[in-house]
Amino acid sequence: MESRVGIESVSLAYKKIILGVTGGIAAYKAAELCRLLAKAGADVRVAMTAAAQQFVTPLTFQALSGKPVLTSLWDSASGDGMEHIHLSRDADLLLVAPASADFLARLAHGRADDLLSTLCLARSCGLAVAPAMNREMWAAAPTRRNLEQLRADGVSVLGPAAGEQACGEIGPGRMLEPADILAALPGLLGAGPLAGKRVLVTAGPTFEPIDPVRGLTNLSSGKMGYAVAQAAAEAGAAVCLVSGPTCLAAPAGVRRVDVQSAAEMRAAVLRELPSDVFIAVAAVADYRVDAAAPQKLKKSDAGLNLRLVANPDILAEVAALPGAPFCVGFAAETERLAEHAEAKRIRKKLPLLVGNLAQDTLGQDSAELLLFDDRGRHPLPRADKLTQARRLIRHLATLLN
Ligand code: C5P
């Protein structure tokens, strides 16, 4: 499975993680997550709600974590009866996956009416939740309110993914795949190769207005830029994503700034500096209409001439600043990729440039990339964009460090 490439390198050695499992059909996937956490070297303790035990038995998690599973606040066998306090004080992270709509509601209200909710309230470590529920429950106003409250309380929300659901419906609400949850953890634990770094990413197309209802744009979907932002966040960076118009959701933990035109993108990028790294993935329009019409243009048999003027090159401008961040460019070419891409890297004075064939990449879910740096070329054979983004971030981290 291509999209899973890279998680074998996730290390959680010596990290103490409490895996909270709540009641939902995705609880069966939490068993795989538990196995992956243990394989990555984490010291895992599992806590299950009563409802979770209707889906999977504690014995499954005991076998996978190698430790007794915590199921009740009222377990007289657990020492001084203060297990919930000790456990959450010692842990590096509390991860609730799957997190049901009901559990999120209890969490948002600070309830402590079972072991897992008490662990959450008593914790002094970070808390991440991977929601899993039917799409209507996910869209419901109370769930929206609870999520907003949890985010404001500093809880990291991982996912959910969209797709086919156990109930047969299709939409957002599926728990993220265990491998994708695992990939997000080093970032949350501040343990990734970009921990402590600020990363600024541009993504998507720009939209250059012709009049109030029309404009010039391109076929960029934003998928690559969003994947790069996600991979940088997974690697522990504080990520700001300046995005042209796309229909994608911001990845977990990434701050998104929405823009339309190249001029707006430039202004947003300059506002968000300084940054340690700048990754320009956006397909910025090279030209804009000289004077966009204030009112909708009327059709005329005489045709229409639009005068286009050059847009500023945001990447070249940032790379030329004194104390410039480490700048990464993208070059989509339709022919002679290596030649054009390397020339572009030299012209814009970039330490790293990512080349791809435009016809092969635009709007697609996968890409074949060629990295250019001072040491030469590094091919990244075809894979889905998130895998490619993770490979790129790993390469960038080695150059930076
Ligand atoms: O010169 P070209 O447009 O092919 O360069 C592509 C790279 O430059 C991409 O990284 C793109 O995000 C960036 N770029 C920019 N501002 C522009 C044009 C391109 O930042 N006006």
CB 17 within 8 A of CB 91: yes
Could you tell me if the CB of 279 is within 6 A of ligand 1?
Answer: no
Beta-strand relationship, 93-99 and 16-21: parallel
Helix, strand, coil tally for the chain in percent (to 5)? 35, 25, 40
381: left (phi over 0), alpha (psi -120 to 50) or beta: beta
Beta bridge partners, 288, equal 309
What is the Å distance from ligand 1's center to 211 Cα? 24
Could you tell me if the CB of 329 is within 6 A of ligand 1?
Answer: yes
Domain ranges of the chain: 11-188, 198-400
Structure tokens at 249: 């959701």
Tell me whether the CATH fold assigned to 11-188 matches the one assigned to 198-400.
yes
**167 a catalytic residue:** yes
Q: What is the CATH number of domain 198-400?
A: 3.40.50.10300
pLDDT at 253: 80
Structure tokens at 134: 């039917």
pLDDT at 248: 94
Q: Which of 288, 313, 353, 371 to mutate to test the pocket of ligand 1 (most atoms within 8 A of CB)?
A: 313
CB 357 within 8 A of CB 334: yes
- Atom of ligand 1 minimally distant from the CA of 311: 21
User: Is 290 in a helix, a strand, or coil?
Assistant: coil
C-alpha count within 13 angstroms, C-beta hemisphere, residue 290: 5
pLDDT at 73: 83
CB 80 within 8 A of CB 53: no
pLDDT at 76: 53
Q: Which CATH architecture has domain 11-188?
A: 3-Layer(aba) Sandwich (3.40)
Continuous segment of H or E residues that includes residue 138: helix 135-139
HEC per residue, 355-400: EEEHHHHCCCCEEEEEEEECCEEEEEEEEEHHHHHHHHHHHHHHHH
Length of the chain: 401
Q: What angle do CA 7, 9, 13 make, to 5 degrees?
A: 110
Q: Which of 217, 284, 352 to mutate to test the pocket of ligand 1 (most atoms within 8 A of CB)?
A: 284
Could you tell me if the CB of 330 is within 6 A of ligand 1?
Answer: yes
Could you tell me if the CB of 331 is within 6 A of ligand 1?
Answer: yes
The per-residue pLDDT string of the chain (401 residues; one tens digit each, 9 = 90 and over) reads 333 435 566 778 889 999 999 999 999 999 999 999 999 999 999 999 999 999 999 999 999 999 999 998 877 555 666 766 778 888 999 999 999 999 999 999 999 999 999 999 999 999 999 999 999 999 999 999 999 999 999 999 999 988 888 888 888 899 999 999 999 998 888 878 898 999 999 999 999 999 999 999 999 999 999 999 999 998 989 999 999 999 998 888 889 999 999 999 999 999 999 999 999 999 999 999 999 999 999 998 889 999 999 999 999 999 999 999 999 999 988 888 889 999 999 999 999 999 988 777 777 888 899 999 999 999 999 999 999 999 999 999 999 98
Q: Dihedral angle at the C-alpha atoms of 168, 172, 175, 181, nearest 10 degrees?
A: 150
pLDDT at 80: 65
pLDDT at 4: 41
